[in-house]
Structure 1
Amino acid sequence: MEKDENGQYTSIKESALTYSFETYIQAFLQMVKGKSYREADTGLGKSDLIINVHSKEYLIETKIYYYESQFLEGKKQLAYYCKSLGVKKGVYLVFIPKGINHSEKVAENVEVINRVEISTFLVEYDEDKW
């Protein structure tokens, strides 16, 4: 989540979207006896969400899409966090306001960044309902 220089959230909306996603996956985590941790310290910063299932950890980084360079930088940030924890896969969950045009670089895919597999998912949402 985006924070200012004092560590305060700059976007309640992003926090709410991340919380909504975490709430959504709780039923699954309960079935598999998994756990989730928000704003977990990676030693090099804080990841948005870490999920632990059967002693395997998965890092999830969330962003609201504003512009392409921020989108691309978020992938690198996630790879950096994953590497610091020895995690080989990360999930990049990007919330895009409905109707926003973006380049072809902003797409769902799986790619390797610094030897970390990053799976990107785009979630469209309606800003008027927030």
Structure 2
Amino acid sequence: MNITKYVLVLLVMPFLFGCNSDDYQYPDKYLPNYNFSIDIDMSLPLYTPLQFTANPVYIDQAGIGINGIIVMNTGGGYVAYEASCPNQNLDSCSKLAVDGIMAICPCDEAEYNLFNGQAEGKEYPLKPYRIQVTSGTSIRVYN
């Protein structure tokens, strides 16, 4: 009987620990998941702030994210987040405002740090998007 339990545990272990960190699924309680992709050429004037650390750029191009995206150079790489409040239903006040290295939700005044996407006392962090550096001055943001 004990051998059966051990065999069962060994068979289940790969399913429990076989997940890749790339497979992270952001909870979609408030924010739906829309597929998009954008190539950003940082040599263009609109995106040159991304060549320097802690200079976020808000991109509100149609079809990119829900309310657009916020992209920032962290000094160790790039991050991209959805520009919608992650702890609020989509509403007229759920579009984030960028203030320096903080993104502020007008609905509840929550302040999210753009280096890590976290806000003190909030259930969900900012919704992250994937980044791929395609050349020295170009990146691709997608989900």
For normalisation by structure 2, the TM-score amounts to 0.27
Task: Please say which structure displays the higher CA radius of gyration.
Answer: 2
Normalized per residue, the structure richer in strand is 1
Greater relative contact order (Cα < 8 A, sep 6+): 2
TM-score of the superposition, structure 1-length normalised?
Answer: 0.29
| Higher-helix-fraction structure | 1
